[in-house]
Structure 1
Amino acid sequence: MPVPAEGTPRVVPRSRVLTWLHHQWVRHPRWSMALKGAVAASLAWLVGLVAPPPFAEYPYYAPLGAVVAVSSTAVRSVKDSAQAVGAVLLGAVLARVVGALAVPVVVEIAVVVAVALLFAGWRLFGEMGTWVVTSALFVLVLGGAEKVEYTVAFAGLLVVGAGIGVAVNLVVPPLPLTPSELALDRLRDVLADEVDVLAGRLETEGPLRAQEWQERRREVAPTIARARESVAAAREAARANVRARRYGG
């Protein structure tokens, strides 16, 4: 096999580069989520542009719905989208009710934010509760004299964008198996190290005291928690996921 001359740049085989890229891709699920989010948001924007009035006047709200749907698992994307739409509608209603009061704008904003924040903590909306505040402020401040038209466009485009995001997620559903495997491998290594340390301690100094046991547990607890979170995420992602059938074991 010929040896490259000194100073000649080293050529990395294409197969090794592709293997490395694939390894990084499956190891970091957020990369695929970012790509799907970009595709879904772009499609939602294009749909918003060609939509009939008044939707075409606010096309930028469609990508928001797409991002909400794509930034979760296939099953959760449907739930998150429904919660976000419900929160948006509630926020719009709050803005309409408060906007009808004959009070200064600063008072309207204060009342809307206070009430919306209370509803944002409603378990019905889950993590999408902040959309109540966002929607209320948008409708109140940006809606102007056409609050009804603005509300319809805002909520409608959000629904359309969320539908596109859900569709993209169902076509290419996330399945973060590699991160869960890495987390379990890390937990195995940590527990093996702990067993070795404990074995050495028993041979030299005898059993650990109660306080030492607690310290050992606290050191291992973060690794256990990360492993549980990764496994739970993988199990949730496997629901309604056609890709999961290939990994039935």
Structure 2
Amino acid sequence: MHPARTWLLDRWAHHPRIALALRAACAAAIAWTLVRFVPGAQDYPYYAPFGAIIATTSTLAGSVRESLQAVGAIVVGGTIAWLVDLVTGDAAPLTVGIVVLLSVSVAGWRPLGVMGGWAPTAALFTLIIGHGEAFFIGAYGGLTLFGAVVGILINIIAPPLPLAPARQTVGRTRGVLAKQLRELGDLMVAHELPTLEQWHREHTELRRARTAMRDAMSRVQESRAGNARARRHRDAMEQLAEEADSLDRVSLLVADVSDLILRPRGVPSESSATATTLSDSLREPIARAMHRVADALDAYGHGSDTDPQLEAADAELQRLLQAEPDQTHEQLLVHSVVLSLRRALDTFV
């Protein structure tokens, strides 16, 4: 394959924003052309490409839902401005304040979903640009819907499939998990252990990565509706979903490990919980086991042969079980850490 073509295909596959921009541009241009043939649309033709852009920035199912929500928010916000203007009769500061107060209040209405924020915008547009006239509400909402229909048709012809962004979030989550395991292992042997509160305060990236991964996978699942491309990539989508589920479980297990090591725990001879202490003979093997599990995570993510890393991690866990802790609470702690790390490994077997 020609290098230039290979480069272009790679950019297309890994940068879905390019396809999104092209869909939005085509939909906006077509909507702008067609709206000129709509009777009475000559005063506000720009709302048609506006609706087209809204409809092409999501999955096929999402474009229908968000287009209806946007039009609903426009109608609700415009109606508020129209009613308030009928009562007050002008656009005095008090009128503007009342319109904003009411429209911002209804912006959180559940049926409007993520597009509820358009209600205050539509209210102000109706009050100031449309002079509080009911006709403006119909023109604004109707032409936005007209453009949205064009955008939805573009999405039907070339449906988006957000696999690349989902893969990126999965890879980012995997990288954060491996990084945190290595860092915790390094702290075991090189530094005084932080408190659990300090650890959570300084390591919020895993929570953000998991949230982004779940959101991306939800969009992938939503994109399957009415999408012929999704049927062709069904195996890849199912494999990615399985990997995301596995990483979600591993993140909970990594949280268990940090909790076991960093949370203060009481022992029968003490009246209050104290920081968990581990002898040097245990810290080294626990740290090595964490590093080996992190290596297995990295290998799985890069598509390379994971057997050597899994075998190395398993062997390290076996050696850790053979360690002889000085105290009973140390033995319980070691066995709990081994169980969590082994369950993390089993997730990818």
TM-score of the alignment, normalized to the shorter chain, above 0.5: yes
Match of residue 69, structure 1, among 51, 55, 66: 55
Matched, 1:191 2:210: no
Question: What is residue 243 of structure 1 aligned with on the other side?
Answer: 229
> In structure 1, how many angstroms separate the alpha carbons of the residues matched to 2:180 and 2:52?
45
Opposite residue 138 of structure 1, the aligned amino acid is: F
Q: Tell me: higher relative CO, structure 1 or 2? Use CA pairs within 8 A at least 6 residues apart.
A: 1
Match of residue 158, structure 1, among 144, 160, 172: 144
> In structure 2, how many angstroms separate the alpha carbons of the residues matched to 1:134 and 1:157?
16
Which ranges in structure 2 are unaligned for 5 or more consecutive residues? 236-349
> In structure 2, how many angstroms separate the alpha carbons of the residues matched to 1:72 and 1:149?
30
Opposite residue 244 of structure 1, the aligned amino acid is: A
TM-score normalized by the length of structure 1: 0.80
Opposite residue 71 of structure 2, the aligned amino acid is: V
Question: What is residue 88 of structure 1 aligned with on the other side?
Answer: 74
Matched, 1:33 2:33: no
Question: What is residue 271 of structure 2 aligned with on the other side?
Answer: none
- 8 Å CA contact 2:176–2:205 kept in 1: the answer is no
Q: Secondary structure at the match of 2:49?
A: helix
> In structure 1, how many angstroms separate the alpha carbons of the residues matched to 2:74 and 2:112?
10
> In structure 2, how many angstroms separate the alpha carbons of the residues matched to 1:102 and 1:217?
53
Question: What is residue 180 of structure 1 aligned with on the other side?
Answer: 166
Question: What is residue 233 of structure 1 aligned with on the other side?
Answer: 219
> In structure 1, how many angstroms separate the alpha carbons of the residues matched to 2:46 and 2:225?
31
- 8 Å CA contact 1:73–1:236 kept in 2: the answer is yes
Matched, 1:46 2:33: yes
Question: What is residue 136 of structure 1 aligned with on the other side?
Answer: 123
> In structure 2, how many angstroms separate the alpha carbons of the residues matched to 1:189 and 1:175?
24
Relative to structure 1, is the Cα distance of residues 209 and 36 closer, same or farther in structure 2, using a 3 angstrom cutoff?
Answer: same
Matched, 1:24 2:1: no
Relative to structure 1, is the Cα distance of residues 247 and 138 closer, same or farther in structure 2, using a 3 angstrom cutoff?
Answer: same
Relative to structure 1, is the Cα distance of residues 247 and 118 closer, same or farther in structure 2, using a 3 angstrom cutoff?
Answer: same
> In structure 2, how many angstroms separate the alpha carbons of the residues matched to 1:190 and 1:140?
49
Match of residue 56, structure 1, among 30, 34, 42: 42
- 8 Å CA contact 1:55–1:156 kept in 2: the answer is no
Percent identity reads 35
**Structural mapping, 1:204-219, within 5 Å:** 204=189, 211=196, 214=200, 218=204
> In structure 2, how many angstroms separate the alpha carbons of the residues matched to 1:152 and 1:103?
20
Relative to structure 1, is the Cα distance of residues 19 and 97 closer, same or farther in structure 2, using a 3 angstrom cutoff?
Answer: same
Question: What is residue 8 of structure 1 aligned with on the other side?
Answer: none
Which ranges in structure 1 are unaligned for 5 or more consecutive residues? 1-13
TM-score normalized by the length of structure 2: 0.59
> In structure 1, how many angstroms separate the alpha carbons of the residues matched to 2:89 and 2:183?
69
> In structure 2, how many angstroms separate the alpha carbons of the residues matched to 1:48 and 1:208?
65
> In structure 2, how many angstroms separate the alpha carbons of the residues matched to 1:130 and 1:199?
46
Shift of 1:178: 2.0
Shift of 1:229: 3.1
Shift of 1:36: 0.8
